[in-house]
Structure 1
Amino acid sequence: MDLEHARRVAVEAAEAAGTALRAGASGPVGVHPKGRSGDVVTDLDLAAERILLDRIRAAFPTHRIVAEESGVHGGGDWTWLIDPLDGTNNVAIGLPAYVVGLALCSGGRPLLGVVHDPVTGHTWSAVRDAGALGPSGPLSGPAPRDLPHGPVLAWTQGYGVARDDPAVRSLKMTMEVRARRVLQLWAPLLSWAMLARGDIDGMIGYRAEAVDLPAGALIAQEAGLEIRALDGGPFEEDVDGPREDRSFVAARPELIGDLLALVAEARVLAAALPPAPTAHA
């Protein structure tokens, strides 16, 4: 498998989808309910996904594709994960914060990741063990910096996580106290790109979605960031594994210890939290 060729195909596909998204987002956007969790899908998600599917199928007809909106296509030893519009809820309210993401995996392990930002026209990509590329060339990782008022952190969680989950409540409460700012962008792949280029200092994820995790995580790792499981152990990258395995802390290596200490503090808090109040009709 020529991963550099696959990178070029994925970048071109993401940028083509991004052109369609940028044009469509400038006018009225059709928004439709998706599932029972309050999530939505837009006409732009579906249009961008068709572009990505057509291009990936044409270049790699024997590969399996898992697409955010249309599910599984085909079979094979190589699997593409496609998120045609990461940040759908942002687009639905007119907030220009969204990206396109693709990852190529083998044996559940991501080997290629691409994230494209249609708003800025910038693209980030990575091939495992071959480094990460940004709009200006290779990414060497953000330089260490003083954080007298705490780090700027991003938070992400999976769609299926309950609002009253005690782990989520305690983690978010502790982050608000220990961090200078906490970003909840509704677009995890955009947060990964911000982390890789040094705009933010770290990221904590709880039971993240499989389709929008691998591309960003690989780009961050190849740019010199470190990712650990919440218990401090190795971050298992099997995208076919249990949702619980997709919880993590990510940061520059010198900040990982601070984030793991934050997680440990949150665990103590979770044990002491009263039950969350229930909503009344």
Structure 2
Amino acid sequence: MVQGTDLEHARRVAVDAARAAGRLITAGVLGTVEISPKGDDGDVVTDLDLASEELLLRRVLAAFPDHAVIAEESGRQGRAGSEWTWLIDPLDGTNNIAIGLPLYAVGLALCRDGRPELGVVHEPVTGRTWSAVRGRGVLGPSGPLAAPPHRPAGGGPVLAWIQGYGVRRGDAVACALKAGLDRRARRVLRLWAPLLAWVMLARGDIDGIVGYQTGIVDLPGGLLIAQEAGVVVSAFDGTPFDCAPLAGGGRDFVAGRAGFQEDLLEAVRAVP
């Protein structure tokens, strides 16, 4: 299984697949988008999610038939028990498309025994792509992504909030966390597209992310891109954050540029 462990080959396959899915989505939003309810949490799925996922699955499994896959819409596929698992988010930001907001991404990650080794995020609206292989830094639209400069946080930091779809509107912890962040931050972004928040953090556009009960499919790829750009990620208790295993309930974490992590942890710990 030479190709299964050749991460540069896997990066090329994933980037090409993400860009092809992006072109499919870009063409699709110009027409009528079919929207259907998904689950009991107010989430939705569109025909573009399904078409993008079909394309991504076809390409990934053709290139890596011995790998397992966890896809957003169709669940587990591929070879059960493989040490290598792809996570596919065919359209991160479906709810944005549903309301006509052009803010969404395509994401893929390749994990080995639950640890992300490759992450790819493609933004169809701008045509930009970011990718990272563990230990090799981040490639952006213009080449290697340099470590972001320290950005003065005048008036408070700019943060992003990510929560899982299973979090109810009146969730006491979520409400308290958001209220606490609003008091401390200059601005708190709620993008409904977590992968784009990770890329913004990696570039240095924002100072941190707080995630509460987040899902797994759109987590490892963005997480690795941010980490390879020098972002520090930890659980709410301050221990190093690890998204493994690739199953189970939501994850809580804080992610911030170097030197800012303690401020984020303090904000989280202040919530009763």
User: Shorter-chain TM-score: what band?
Assistant: over 0.9
Q: 2:262 aligns with which of 235, 257, 263?
A: 257
Task: Check if 1:66 corresponds to 2:79.
Answer: no
Aligned positions, number: 266
Residues 48-95 of structure 1: per-residue CA shift (max 9 Å, x gap): 011101100110011111110111112222110000000000001110
Taking the aligned partners of 2:74 and 2:241, their CA distance within structure 1 comes to: 28
Point out 4+ residue stretches in structure 1 off by more than 6 angstroms. Answer: none
Alpha-carbon deviation of 1:242? 4.2
Any conservation in 2 of the 1:141–1:225 contact (CA below 8 Å)?
Answer: no
Give a deviation string over 1:117-168, Cα, whole Å, max 9, x none: 0000000000111111111111222111221200110000111122222211
Please give the alpha-carbon distance, in whole angstroms, between the structure 2 residues aligned to 1:236 and 1:219: 14
TM-score under structure 2 length normalisation: 0.95
1:91 equivalent to 2:97? Answer: yes
Aligned counterpart for 2:27 among listed residues 23, 26, 30 = 23
One-letter code aligned to 1:126: A
2:25 is the counterpart of 1:42? no
Partners of 1:139 and 1:225 lie apart in 2 by 13
| Amino acid across the alignment from 1:263 | V
The alignment partner of 2:210 has SS state of strand
TM-score scaled to structure 1, two decimals? Answer: 0.92
In structure 2, C-alpha distance between the alignment counterparts of 1:66 and 1:237, rounded to whole Å: 14
Against the structure 1 CA distance between its residues 19 and 239, is the aligned structure 2 distance closer, same or farther, given a 3 Å change threshold? farther
Change (3 A) 1:154 1:224: same
Percent identity, aligned pairs only, is: 62
Gaps (5+ residues) in structure 1?
269-281
1:221 aligned to 224, 227, 238, which one? Answer: 227
Offset of residue 31 of structure 1: 0.4
1:55-204 residue pairs with structure 2 within 5 A? 55-75=59-79, 76-204=82-210
Counterpart CA distance in 2 for 1:242 and 1:38 is 20
SS in structure 1 opposite 2:151? coil
User: Which amino acid counterpart does residue 7 of structure 2 have in structure 1?
Assistant: L
Query: Which runs of no fewer than 5 residues in structure 2 stay unpaired?
Result: none
Question: RMSD value over aligned CA atoms?
Answer: 1.1
Determine whether 1:13 maps to 2:17. Answer: yes
C-alpha distance in structure 2 between counterparts of 1:252 and 1:152, whole Å = 12
Cα deviations by residue, 1:22-50 (Å, 9 ceiling, x for unpaired): 11112221101111111100000001011
- CA distance in 1 between counterparts of 2:13 and 2:235 reads 32
